[in-house]
Copies of this chain bind each other. A is one copy, B any other.
Amino acid sequence: MKYLVTGGAGFVGSTIVDRLVAQGHEVIAYDNLSTGNLKFLEQSKEHITFIKADLLDMPALTQAMRGVDFVFHMAANADIKDNLKNPTICLEQNTIATSNVLEAMRANNVKRIAFASTGSVYGEPDKFPTPETYTFPIQTSMYAASKLACEGLLQAYATGYGFQVFIFRFVSLMGERYTHGCVFDFSKKLLANAHELPILGNGKQRKSYLYIQDCMDALFIAIEKSSGNINIYNLGTEEYIEVNTIADMVCRELHLPNVKYIYSGGERGWVGDSPFILLDITKMKSLGWKPKLSIAQSVHKTIHWINENQWVLKERK
Contact = CB atoms under 8 A, between A and B. Distances in A.
Given A145-B153, A149-B148, A160 B83 contact: yes
A153 B138 CA distance: 10
Given A157-B87, A159-B271, A272-B160, A136 B132 contact: yes
A96 B95 CA distance: 10
Contacts of A157: 87
Contact of A136 (B136, B139, B144, B156): B136
* Most chain B Cβ neighbours within 10 Å, of A103, A138, A152: A152
A299 interface: no
A254 interface: no
A161 interface: yes
A91 interface: yes
A161 B135 CA distance: 24
A138 B144 CA distance: 16
Interface residues of A, number: 42
Contact of A139 (B138, B140, B155, B272): B155
A88 interface: yes
B142 A160 contact: yes
Given A161-B84, A272-B160, A144 B137 contact: no
Interface pairs A-B: 5 shortest CB-CB: A149-B149, A145-B152, A139-B152, A139-B155, A145-B156
27 contacts: A87-B102, A87-B103, A87-B106, A87-B157, A87-B160, A88-B99, A88-B103, A91-B95, A132-B136, A133-B135, A133-B136, A138-B155, A138-B232, A139-B152, A139-B155, A139-B156, A140-B156, A140-B159, A141-B156, A141-B159, A142-B153, A144-B156, A145-B153, A146-B152, A148-B152, A149-B149, A160-B272
Interface of A: 83-84, 87-88, 91, 95-96, 99, 102-103, 106, 122-123, 132-142, 144-146, 148-149, 151-153, 155-157, 159-161, 230, 232, 271-272
Given A134-B136, A136-B136, 19 more contacts: A87-B160, A88-B99, A91-B95, A91-B96, A96-B96, A133-B135, A135-B135, A136-B137, A138-B155, A138-B232, A139-B152, A139-B155, A140-B159, A142-B160, A145-B155, A145-B156, A148-B152, A149-B152, A149-B153
